[in-house]
């Protein structure tokens, strides 16, 4: 059978592990001795008895709910700007897209750590206009914002998807609206946004799910600190699994994460019926 | 929309787009320029992009690496892993996509639903049991855990992308080939694969970029310093906390992005199309 490579991969690397993960989440497996069944202990401990779990969930939720809208606003604003038919927009779109390509790399994490450090470029710029900086990464009040900034900076891919969406909107709609005396803001609200809702929805889902998985940047730039202010969920899970070898506990955390992501995705899908407009249905926005 | 723009609005537009564009690429320019600065200027003259003198010494010192392993080894390891992943992904994803797009087989709807479900699955769910599996097979500290998944379908997103593309290829071509006595596999290699080229380019670029950048999988599976990839090499360099050599570190960071930037320069059209049509990345 021609799909057998995937079939093998699916059973060996996806379905098998999913079942195993569920089983391990009810054990105290530490990789060295054989797993003991502990029932719901892991789940109970995580949910009632682990302040660092709560911290990691809070950090991640703040991160997702701040960075996703900001990223999408930037993406849409610049896509609109690049859709005005001026010369050279192709070049600028490319430039703005580069951070999305390399933003997840270790190299950029290195750069972030230096630029936002105490003696970094940002503080030097602030001092040159008479402001005093702080150690952005070492300060619990600012460390998370610096990571949010890093993710928002990578708005290039949603921007390109928005741009493709904007080019699909028939110009006749805008012409008709301007004949009817609509100003720019009105046609933005009445035409652009409704016509773009499927794309907005797509970007929203992708960015939200992606936001929950952030790991590399936090691991490299702040190590979760200072004082757990950037202890992302994925970071804490990694710590539990691969530093403390508490595989059972971490598996339970993975399942809780799955439930959280699935609920938020489901919620977005349900509310989307109210605001996402599909042309083929011919309905209202 | 093609509209006439007044020269004043053009002026505002280009000023903004250029200034904001500069802010966007500043961190990248900063990294490259600072890698050419003497150590004292990386912090003493931190925000400036222009070094007082161009110093290539950081590159030489960085290449020597940290501890006993040099960056030549890290680059070689990254190249081995990345090229094998790209090959595996192209081979398996294209043939699996062909199967899903063109052939009839039992349980196809269910299996297709499974494929789509895995696109959305958080990596954390399979990460731990996969690690345990590879650990028990004795494959930790080998490249196998990084490479094998690519040969077994790779990223489900790639399969999906290729399925969509194959569906756009007229079936008449297949039928004509069957009349000429072509086998199922022959149709794949002679008809579908050549036509699939543009989509495969997208897959190759993204598979390369993601694998080259990957940090989590090497971090988990490669403890032996001789197997470390570039991403781990940079981490080792940075975490040598007592007196990190920032100049060489920035030099190696810049170098680590080189393959990606070259790929980007050559194929940005494909990349942009790939994103616009599929939402990859």
What's the pLDDT at B1? 46
The answer to whether the beta carbons of residues B238 and A113 sit under 8 Å apart is yes
Q: Is residue B202 part of a domain?
A: yes
Number of structural domains chain B divides into: 2
| pLDDT tens profile B211-228 | 999 999 999 999 998 999
Tokens, residue B144:
């196998």
Chain B positions touching A247 (Cβ under 8 A) are 128, 132
| Residue among A285, A69, A281 nearest A190 (CA) | A285
pLDDT at B3 over 90: no
Calculate the average pLDDT of chain B.
Answer: 88
- pLDDT at residue A284 above 60? no
Does B106 share its domain with B32? no
Mean model confidence pLDDT for chain A? 91
A188 part of contact set with chain B, CB < 8 Å: no
Q: Are residues B129 and B160 in the same domain?
A: yes
Is 70 exceeded by the pLDDT of residue A137?
A: yes
User: Residue holding tokens 């479900």?
Assistant: B117
Q: Do A106 and B124 touch (CB under 8 A)?
A: no
Residue B254: list chain A partners with CB under 8 A: 107
| pLDDT confidence tier of residue B183, bands split at 50, 70 and 90 | confident
B15 versus B119: the higher-pLDDT residue is B15
pLDDT band for B154, please (50, 70, 90 cuts): confident
Instruction: Give every CB contact of residue A283 below 8 A, 6+ residues apart in sequence.
Output: A277
Which residue among B95, B153, B261 sits closest to A10, beta carbon to beta carbon? B153
pLDDT the model gives residue B42: 82
CATH number for position B138: 1.10.3720.10
Q: Identify whether B92 is part of a domain.
A: yes
Is the same domain home to B47 and B72? no
B81 and B47 together in one domain: no
pTM of the model: 0.91
Do B98 and B156 lie in one domain? The reply is yes
Give the residue-averaged pLDDT of A200-218.
Answer: 92
CA closest to B130 among chain A residues: A17
Domain identity same for B163 and B177: yes
Higher pLDDT, B47 or A98: A98
Which residues in chain B are contacts of A245 at CB distance < 8 A?
none
Probe site for chain B from A11, A15, A105, A199 (most B CB atoms < 10 A): A105
Specify whether B110 is located in the same domain as B171.
Answer: yes
Range of the domain at B48: 2-60
* Shared-domain flag, residues B165 and B268: yes
**Looking at the complex, does the CB of residue A163 fall below 8 Å from at least one CB of chain B?**
yes
Q: Which of B81-85, B121-125, B132-136 has the lowest mean pLDDT?
A: B121-125
Residue B87 shares a structural domain with residue B224: yes
**Any domain includes B227:** yes
Is position B281 within any domain? no
Residue A60 CA, distance from chain mean position: 10
- Is residue B185 a part of any domain in this protein? yes
Residue B128 falls inside a structural domain: yes
Same domain for B131 and B253, yes or no, is yes
- Of the candidate ranges A127-141, A144-158, A221-235, B239-253, the one whose mean pLDDT is the lowest: B239-253
Task: State the pLDDT at residue B255.
Answer: 95
Evaluate if residue B237 carries a pLDDT over 90.
no
B24, B95, B166, B268: best to mutate for the A interface, most A CBs within 10 A: B24
Distance of CA B4 to the CA centre of its chain: 40
Inter-residue contact B154 to B207 (CB < 8 Å): yes
Percent of chain A residues past pLDDT 90, beyond the cut: 69
Structure tokens at B36: 């050419």
Number of H helices, E strands in chain A: 15, 0
Whether residue B129 lies within 8 A of chain A, CB to CB, comes out as yes
* Sign, Cα dihedral of A81, A87, A93, A98: negative
Q: What is the pLDDT of residues A176-191, one digit of tens each?
A: 998 988 888 999 989 9
Read off the tokens for A56.
């990691």
Tell me which of B21, B39, B60 is where a domain ends.
Answer: B60
Say yes or no: B90 and B11 in one domain. no
Are residues A220 and B220, on separate chains, in Cβ contact within 8 Å?
Answer: no
A37 secondary structure, DSSP code: B
Tell me which of B45, B60, B75 is where a domain ends.
B60
Pairwise CB contact (< 8 Å): B215 & A209: no
Cα–Cα dist B256/B52, whole Å: 24
B90 and B204, same domain (yes or no): yes
pLDDT in tens, A193-206: 999 999 999 999 99
Q: What is the DSSP string of chain B?
A: ------HHHHHHHHHHHHHHHHHHHHHHHHHHHHTTS-HHHHHHTTT-SS-SS---HHHHHHHH-BTTB-HHHHHHHHHHHHHHHHHHHHHHHHHHHHHHHH---TTHHHHHHHHHHHHH--HHHHHHHHHHHHHHTT-TTSSHHHHHHHHTT--HHHHHHHHHHHHTS-HHHHHHHHHTT--HHHHIIIIIHHHTHHHHHHHHHHHHHHHHH--HHHHHH--SGGG--HHHHHHHHHH--TT--HHHHHHHHHHHHHHHHHHHHHHHHHHHHHHHHH---
**Of B60, B81, B108, which residue is a domain's last?**
B60
**Interface contact flag, A31 B132, Cβ < 8 Å:** yes
């Amino acid at each position: 059978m021609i799909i057998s490579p995937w079939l093998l991969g699916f059973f060996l690397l996806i379905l098998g592990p999913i079942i195993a993960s569920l089983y391990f989440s009810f054990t105290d497996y530490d990789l060295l001795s054989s797993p003991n069944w502990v029932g719901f202990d892991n789940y109970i401990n995580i949910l009632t008895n682990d302040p660092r779990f709560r911290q990691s969930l809070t950090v991640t939720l703040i991160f997702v709910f701040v960075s996703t809208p900001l990223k999408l606003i930037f993406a849409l604003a610049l896509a609109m700007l690049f859709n005005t038919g001026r010369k050279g927009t192709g070049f600028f779109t490319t430039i703005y897209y580069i951070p999305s390509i390399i933003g997840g790399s270790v190299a950029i994490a290195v750069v972030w750590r230096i630029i936002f450090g105490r003696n970094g470029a940002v503080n030097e710029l602030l001092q040159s206009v008479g402001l005093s900086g702080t150690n952005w990464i070492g300060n619990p009040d600012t460390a998370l914002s610096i990571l949010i900034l890093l993710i928002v900076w990578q708005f290039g891919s949603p921007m390109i998807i928005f741009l493709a969406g904007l080019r699909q909107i028939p110009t006749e709609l805008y012409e008709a609206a301007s004949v009817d005396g609509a100003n720019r803001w009105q046609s933005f609200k009445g035409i652009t946004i409704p016509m773009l809702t499927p794309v907005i929805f797509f970007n929203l889902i992708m960015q939200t799910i992606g936001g929950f998985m952030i790991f590399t940047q936090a691991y490299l730039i702040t190590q979760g600190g200072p004082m757990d202010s950037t202890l992302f969920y994925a970071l804490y899970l990694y710590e539990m699994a691969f530093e403390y070898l508490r595989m059972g506990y971490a598996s339970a955390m993975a399942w809780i994460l799955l439930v959280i992501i699935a609920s938020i995705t489901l919620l977005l899908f349900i509310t989307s019926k109210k605001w996402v407009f599909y042309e083929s249905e011919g309905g209202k926005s | 929309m093609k509209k006439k723009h007044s020269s004043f609005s053009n002026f505002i537009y280009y000023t903004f787009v250029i200034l904001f564009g500069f802010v966007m690429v500043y961190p990248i320019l900063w990294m490259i320029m600072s890698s050419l600065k003497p150590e004292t200027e990386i912090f003493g003259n931190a925000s400036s992009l222009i070094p007082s003198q161009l110093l290539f010494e950081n590159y030489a010192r960085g290449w020597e690496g940290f501890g006993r392993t040099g960056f030549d080894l890290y680059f070689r390891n990254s190249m081995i892993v990345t090229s094998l992943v790209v090959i595996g992904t192209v081979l398996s994803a294209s043939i699996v996509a062909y199967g899903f797009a063109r052939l009839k087989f039992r349980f196809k709807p269910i299996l297709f639903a499974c494929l789509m479900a895995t696109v959305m699955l958080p990596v954390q769910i399979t990460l731990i049991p996969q690690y345990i599996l590879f650990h028990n097979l004795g494959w930790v500290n080998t490249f196998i855990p990084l490479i094998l998944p690519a040969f077994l379908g790779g990223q489900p997103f790639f399969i999906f992308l290729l399925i969509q593309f194959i569906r756009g290829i007229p079936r008449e071509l297949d039928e004509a080939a069957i009349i000429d006595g072509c086998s199922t596999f022959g149709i794949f290699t002679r008809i579908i694969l050549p036509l699939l080229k543009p989509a495969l380019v997208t897959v190759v670029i993204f598979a390369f970029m993601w694998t080259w950048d990957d940090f989590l999988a090497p971090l988990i599976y490669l403890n032996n310093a001789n197997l470390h990839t570039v991403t781990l090499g940079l981490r080792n360099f940075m975490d040598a906390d007592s007196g990190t050599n920032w100049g060489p570190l920035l030099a190696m960071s810049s170098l680590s992005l080189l393959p990606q930037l070259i790929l980007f320069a050559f194929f940005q059209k494909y990349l942009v199309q790939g994103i616009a049509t599929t939402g990859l990345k």
